Amino acid sequence: MNIEEFRNYCLNKENVSEGFPFDEVTLVIKVHQKIFTLVSLDGPLRVNLKCNPDKAIELREQHTEIIPGYHMNKKHWNTVDLEGSLNDDFIKELIDHSYDLIWRSLPKRLREV
């Protein structure tokens, strides 16, 4: 999956926005102003995705392309190498999982908009 495919998949989700709040090379994608993924546009194509803690450990053990979240809470975030052997459908599942975790954490009034 390349950066444009990744970005487009994320932006097609409900109530999603993008921006560069930290610097000009870190793309941050949010749902209702809560981050569900970050990607550096400088260097190898790796993304940080939120993950259930138990699932995060399991994914890291099964896939060398998935490591603890770089510059993030390593219990809740994974860094995923998009240039590795992970197929696009699996990457989309990881994106969906991250989005869903954030979506479910939002107040009910935001989820019903």
Q: Strands 34-40, 26-31: parallel, antiparallel or unpaired by DSSP?
A: antiparallel
CA–CA gap between residue 5 and residue 106 (Å, rounded) = 26
Rounded CA Rg of the chain: 13
Tokens of 9: 């998949």
What angle, 0 to 180 degrees and rounded to 10, lies between the N-to-C axes of helices 3-11 and 88-105? 40
Tokens of 35: 């981050």
Question: What residues does each domain of the chain span?
Answer: 3-105
Q: Fold for domain 3-105?
A: Aspartate Aminotransferase, domain 1 (3.90.1150)
3-state secondary structure of 18: strand
pLDDT in tens, the chain (113 residues): 999 999 999 999 999 999 999 999 999 999 999 999 999 999 899 999 999 999 999 999 999 999 998 888 888 999 999 998 999 999 999 999 999 999 999 888 887 76
- The pTM (predicted TM-score) of the whole model is 0.93
Element (H, E) at 90: helix 88-105
